[in-house]
Amino acid sequence: MSEASFPDQSESISDQPVASAGKEHHNVDTGDPVDGRYRLGRRDAYPESALEWRGPVAFARAHGAVPGIDHDFGTSWGPNGDQRVSLRVEVGADAGLLAVYDPTWDEYAVLGSDVPLIEVEDAFGRAQRLGTQVAIEEFVALLPNLSAVRPSPVPEP
């Protein structure tokens, strides 16, 4: 009977993934406009998107206490056709918090904090003529007074 030889196990198999973790940036093609902007932890590599996406905790911390009724304006927005746009309006008010929710990333983006319901309804009607999976930025462009409205930054936890 011969002895079986085993490879040197001074470096365990579980150490190998740890040693290579964090080196993904070496494979980024800086000549590609999207890949060049890609960084780990950055959700949106496309520079044309100006939305500030926040996780559910940060969103709830900043806007969770806003009372009111959510008016749903569809769940087929964005590149995957799964983003939901809603306007939270206090009872008796005619304007409110306009936000979009992305279930793929479980993130929210505030589009405006005092957006008139009538303007959102009008923009929603016009956006339906643009086709399916309309980008949120295209919807925002249909709102006459929203381009100057930008949410104040809320630090992530």
pLDDT averaged per 10 residues in sequence order, the chain, 157 residues: 54 51 54 48 51 93 86 92 95 94 95 94 92 88 69 42
pLDDT at 131: 82
- The answer to whether residues 65 and 115 belong to one domain is yes
Domain range for 22: 10-47
Closest CA to 137 of 111, 156, 113, 115: 111
Tell me phi and psi for residue 101, to 5 degrees.
-120, 135
pLDDT at 51: 85
Number of domains the chain contains = 2
Closest CA to 139 of 87, 89, 96, 103: 87
In a domain, 106, yes or no: yes
pTM of the model: 0.63
In a domain, 4, yes or no: no
pLDDT at 16: 52
Q: For residue 8, what are the CA distances in angstroms to 18, 80, 109?
A: 19, 48, 52
Closest CA to 50 of 154, 151, 128: 151
In a domain, 36, yes or no: yes
pLDDT at 65: 79
In a domain, 153, yes or no: no
- The answer to whether residues 107 and 129 belong to one domain is yes
pLDDT at 38: 44
In a domain, 148, yes or no: no
123: its two tokens: 């923009």
Residue with tokens 């930008």: 150
